[in-house]
Amino acid sequence: MLKILLLEDDKSLNRGISLKLQKEGYEVLSAFGVTEAEEVFRTNQIDLIISDITMNDGNGLDFAREVRKKSDVHILFLTALDQEVDIVNGYDVGADDYITKPFSLMVLISKVNAIMRRIESRQNGSEETGELYAEDICMQSVQMKVYKGGEELNLSKKEIQLLHYFLEHPGQIISKEQILEAVWGLDGQFVDDNTVPVTISRLKKRLSSNEEGEYIKNVRGLGYLWTTKVSKK
């Protein structure tokens, strides 16, 4: 059974989310503060962390940052902080997704299910193997690692998944809706309008030596385009 760590200091909300996730077939370990969450994570094999950001005894961003130093566990933020800078900060520490309050419980469950499907797919060995090359960029699909000029890039999981999707479709104009479906596993009504452009902007800057992001081009009114040739090995 896949295991979820739920870090939410609102006890009523924590209980409600936990019950719904349990009905979906997941084991949920609840924590009401950062200190408690650190202990739960240390003593259990967690598949997904759902975390608030602002709490009495600490900060969810700091907790996620520490988790990322030793684990690639999936992280989903659930928070009232809804400004673009907040979303960017969330992805910057390694979040896979970011949901703002107030939120739909159905949307949360849909996002969790999408993440868990990818986890199960990877565990079953059904994900594509091999390496993808685009100029000086190398992506190892199995290890989910990306190198540029021989040096590993520190990308979030969503950035890696997004890059993988682009590398699988070079020279094709990809719409925002296609990206949402492929990377987030959901249609547009469940995702913040800024999520895709913010993630793409961050990926551009990480891949490029300048601010223009020569690998990914924005095609006005249509979507995005990976501009270089890609080879597989």
Confidence of residue 76 (pLDDT cuts 50, 70, 90): very high
**Last residue within a domain, chosen from 123, 145, 179:** 123
**What are the residues whose beta carbons fall under 8 Å from the beta carbon of 226, sequence distance 6 or more?**
134, 166, 167, 169, 170, 171, 172, 174, 215, 216
pLDDT for the residue numbered 194: 81
Q: What is the number of helices (H) and of strands (E) in the chain? A: 8, 15
Indicate the number of domains in the chain. Answer: 2
Does one domain contain both 206 and 143?
yes
**What are the residues whose beta carbons fall under 8 Å from the beta carbon of 35, sequence distance 6 or more?**
57, 58
Does one domain contain both 61 and 135?
no
Does one domain contain both 21 and 41?
yes
Predicted TM-score (pTM) above 0.85: no
Q: How far is CA 140 from CA 10, 15, 58, 119, in A?
A: 40, 39, 35, 17
Does one domain contain both 102 and 37?
yes
pLDDT for the residue numbered 124: 64
Task: State the residue for tokens 């059904």.
Answer: 126
State how beta strands 223-226 and 216-219 pair.
Answer: antiparallel
Does one domain contain both 168 and 141?
yes
CATH of the domain at 197: 1.10.10.10
Dihedral sign computed on CA atoms, order 13, 14, 15, 21: positive
Does one domain contain both 76 and 175?
no
**Last residue within a domain, chosen from 105, 123, 141:** 123
Structural domain of residue 222, as residue ranges? 131-232
CA distance 154 to 92: 10
29: phi > 0 → left, psi -120 to 50 → alpha, else beta; which? beta
Does one domain contain both 61 and 143?
no
Average model confidence (pLDDT) for the chain? 87
Whether the CB-CB separation of 76 and 185 falls below 8 Å is answered with no
Q: Mind listing the pLDDT tens digit for each residue in 20-37?
A: 999 999 999 999 999 999
CATH of the domain at 50: 3.40.50.2300
**Beta-bridge partner residues of 5:** 29, 49
pLDDT for the residue numbered 9: 94
Confidence of residue 177 (pLDDT cuts 50, 70, 90): confident
